[in-house]
Amino acid sequence: MQRCSIALLFFLLVLQVSAQQPERPRLVVGIVIDQMRWDFLYRYQHRFAENGGFKRLLQNGFNCNNSMIPYTPSYTASGHASIYTGAMPSVHGVTGNNWFNLTRREYMYCTGDSSASTVGSSNDAGKMSPANMLSNTICDELKTATNNQAKVIGIALKDRGGILPAGHKANAAYWYDSKTGNFITSSYYMPTLPGWVLQFNEQKLVDSFYKQGWDTYYPIESYTQSTADENTYEVKTFGKGFPYILHSLAGRNYNLLMATPHGNSLTTAFAKAAITNEQMGADSITDFLAISYSSTDYAGHTFGPNAIETEDMFIRLDLELAELLHYLDQQVGKDEYLLFLSADHGAAHNPVFMKDNRIPAGNLLPSVLVEELNKWLEQKFSVADMVVDLINYQVVLNVPAIEKKRKLSVQTVADAVVQYLQKQEGVQHAFVLEEIKQAVLPAGIRQAITNGYFKNRSGHIQIVCKPQYLEGFDKGGTTHGLWNPYDTHVPLLWYGWHIAHGESYREMYITDIAATLAALLDIKAPAGSTGQPIHEIVKQ
């Protein structure tokens, strides 16, 4: 009788303790598709497999159809940082992939860290960390909430796609070394690669992918949503057109893989290996796996949004997502993981393509514009090289050179630059960034620019292009970075643990993702978060 009483007491005690623990999924999976426009969900929907990834998320998850990026410039690093911090670049400080630091008078890379060293390779590709991101992430908050028991891992081909989402306290972030074809990391995380990563790299999957080449998944004549193959809107990176024969690259050039669907396949394979070997989602303590699919961006820059290559890339990505979801079902449990899918930015169409289709479009060529500006300013003020660069659609002035000239102020030069820029084709507005309140702009554009401005990491003068005008890409390929919907309207899908099927067209922002995760997990939002929980998700 006494033994029964003790057992009953123990059971009730365990039950009480477990009842006090917040209910959480075993694993959170964040997926960011690098350079995915929102309209691709529907443009290619009839091409996605019935048992594929996108249709499963659309038919069983929650679709936030009007998810926007609330700042500009809209670049990869800024997007990943904003999704996971819930903050704007004006708060987290990641104003682009690269920026010119006005205080230190030098260029900075978003994840560059000279104090770190490469782990897994002999080159500098691992001299990286999240140190330049000033806010913590939702992954950091999960680590704190579980007393560092949660396991957090970031994975991407791009270093910034793996590092920034995982945050400052991550167990690991891994990215692709394009010189060796291996996944590597940084001494910021660990002194040596785990055995399972070494074993993964030893498989040399990249060489086997190259031997497969790249042909269209469906017969090429069925790609009616895209411009005919071998057109003038693309960069001929792999040759004339499909099928691409890549076997000669094996063991010789590991860089070009990233612009093929095989880059996404490699990412999925590595993510599955991480889930298994790190036992992610294996116990009651919630883990977080942040995955970024980078190859869509490399292909987008190379071929543009209207290419057969881009359509085929997303058809094959759909199958990768299906494989990942099936693996999560098997390893973690179908209702035991929470997943979201979004994008860091979209992309514009190639300007030549737009013109050929009777849409006004054009280019600003930064190097040409800087050279012309410097010549004009030197004639006007007798000072050489007064403009350092045009980066992130912002002009950076050479303040020390200007201040050496007696009776010449930075304000005078800035006003002159604005005057010059406003006469350029493709420039709709130009103004001194610190005078944005006086700029005659629609409120939404003004707010987006303000949200992206971080003193000393932004330039002096902002350029607002006319629609369909962009930096560079005057021949093939395309880019992104502006406030326009083609760059800032991105997908946002939720699936899995406690997510009911539904959709909303209410305006939401990628900065709402971290706040929503915080509400679902019953943890604090990141320190810099300005987002709001998406009530359609949280109330379910």
Contact 309, 303 (CB under 8 A): yes
What b/e string do you get for 278-311 counting C-beta neighbours within 10 Å, with b at 16 or more? bebbeeeebbbbbbbbbbbbbbbbbbbbbbbbbb
Q: Which residues of the chain does CATH 3.30.1360.150 include?
A: 362-467
Closest alpha carbon to 271 in 155, 362, 381, 182: 155
For 333, half-sphere exposure in the C-beta direction (CA atoms, 13 angstrom radius) is: 13
- The number of angstroms, rounded, from the C-alpha of 30 to the middle of its chain's C-alpha atoms is 12
CA distance 169 to 82: 17
Sign of CA dihedral 323, 329, 335, 338: negative
Give mean pLDDT, residues 195-203.
98
Contact 457, 93 (CB under 8 A): yes
Beta strands in 263-377 (DSSP E): 287-293, 337-343, 362-364
Question: What confidence tier does 21 reach under pLDDT thresholds 50, 70, 90?
Answer: low
- The answer to which of 72-86, 436-450, 471-485 has the lowest mean pLDDT is 471-485
- The answer to which of 1-15, 142-156, 373-387, 440-454 has the lowest mean pLDDT is 1-15
CA distance 482 to 348: 9
Sign of CA dihedral 257, 263, 267, 269: negative
Number of other residues whose CB lies within 10 A of the CB of residue 13:
10
CA distance 471 to 370: 12
The letter for the amino acid at 370 is V
Q: Which two tokens stand for residue 89?
A: 């670049």
pTM above 0.85, yes or no: yes
CA distance 173 to 352: 39
Residue count of the chain, please give it: 540
Q: What is the pLDDT of residues 228-284, one digit of tens each?
A: 998 889 998 888 889 999 999 999 999 999 999 999 999 999 999 999 999 999 999
Contact 298, 158 (CB under 8 A): no
State residue 114's pLDDT score. 97
Q: What is the pLDDT of residues 361-407, one digit of tens each?
A: 999 999 999 999 999 999 999 999 999 999 999 999 999 999 998 88
Q: Which two tokens stand for residue 322?
A: 């299906």
Is the model's pLDDT at 540 over the cut of 70?
no
The letter for the amino acid at 94 is V
User: Which of the residues are catalytic?
Assistant: 76
Q: Which residues of the chain does CATH 3.40.720.10 include?
A: 30-354+484-538
Is the model's pLDDT at 213 over the cut of 50?
yes
CA distance 53 to 33: 13
State residue 406's pLDDT score. 85
CA distance 158 to 490: 20
User: 30-354+484-538 in CATH: which number?
Assistant: 3.40.720.10
Question: What confidence tier does 50 reach under pLDDT thresholds 50, 70, 90?
Answer: very high
- What percentage of residues in the chain have a pLDDT greater than 90? 92
Is the model's pLDDT at 296 over the cut of 80?
yes
State residue 533's pLDDT score. 98
CA distance 82 to 80: 6
Give mean pLDDT, residues 180-188.
98
Is domain 362-467 in CATH 3.40.50.2300, yes or no?
A: no
For 288, half-sphere exposure in the C-beta direction (CA atoms, 13 angstrom radius) is: 33
- Helix, coil or strand: residue 426: coil
State residue 20's pLDDT score. 52
